[in-house]
């Protein structure tokens, strides 16, 4: 007799990490608002603090369709083109 494994693991995919900037000074910031409640408030307070401390500018804010949905490819393309640094990931 034998056991049948009912599980499957996530598919491993190589992800290329963007090089870390040596300094935040003057960088263009992109915000990804996942639309959780108050996420926009928190992200913009964070952006204001980064602007004060490091002189970053908010280049764009991208709002996801919902927290459940992935960010769409068009938004990723725009972020790549217009931002040097992206902040995302807000919980409740």
Report which DSSP code applies to 12.
P
Pick the binder of other proteins from 14, 17, 52, 70 (CB under 8 A). Answer: 70
Element (H, E) at 63: strand 57-63
In sequence order, the 6+-apart residues with CB closer than 8 A to the CB of 64 are: 32, 33, 34, 35, 70, 71, 75
Contacting other proteins within 25-44 (CB under 8 A): 37
Polymer length in residues for the chain:
92
CA dist list (Å): 34 to 1, 14, 46: 49, 24, 15
Among 19, 20, 23, 68, binds other proteins (CB under 8 A): 68
Q: Residue 13, interface with other proteins (CB under 8 A)?
A: yes
- What's the min distance (Å) between Cβ of 10 and other proteins? 4
Q: Which is nearer to other proteins, 10 or 19 (CB)?
A: 10
* 67, 75, 84, 87: which one binds other proteins (CB under 8 A): 67
Interface residues with other proteins (CB under 8 A) are: 1-13, 37, 66-70, 92
């Amino acid at each position: 007799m034998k056991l049948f494994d009912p599980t499957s693991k996530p598919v491993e995919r190589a992800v290329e990490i963007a090089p870390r900037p040596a300094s935040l000074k003057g960088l263009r910031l992109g915000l990804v608002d996942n639309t959780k409640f108050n996420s926009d408030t928190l992200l913009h307070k964070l952006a204001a603090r980064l602007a004060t401390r490091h002189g970053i500018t908010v280049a764009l804010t991208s709002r996801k369709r919902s927290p459940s949905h992935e960010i769409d490819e068009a938004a990723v393309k725009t972020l790549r083109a217009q931002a040097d640094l992206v902040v995302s990931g807000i919980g409740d």
